Amino acid sequence: MDNNDNQNLDYYMSIGAIEVAGIDNDGEFIYEITERAREVAPELWLAHEQHIDSSLVRMFEMGLVNVTYDENLEAHLELSEEGKKRSKEFGIIEMDRKNLPND
Q: Residues for the chain: how many in total? A: 103
Report pTM: 0.73
pLDDT tens by residue, 22-80: 888 888 888 999 999 999 999 999 999 999 999 999 999 999 999 999 999 999 989 99
Helix (H) or strand (E) holding 23: strand 18-23
Number of domains in the chain: 1
Q: Judge whether 64 and 80 are in contact, CB under 8 Å.
A: yes
Round to whole Å and give the CA distance between 46 and 38.
8
Helix ranges restricted to H, 3-71: 3-14, 37-40, 42-61
**What is the extent of the structural domain holding 84?**
3-99
pLDDT tens by residue, 11-21: 999 999 999 98
pLDDT of residue 93: 75
38 Cβ contact list (under 8 Å, min separation 6):
45
Count CB neighbours of 89 within 10 A.
11
Q: How far apart are the first and last CA of the chain?
A: 25
**CA atoms within 13 A of residue 41's CA, in its CB half-sphere:** 20
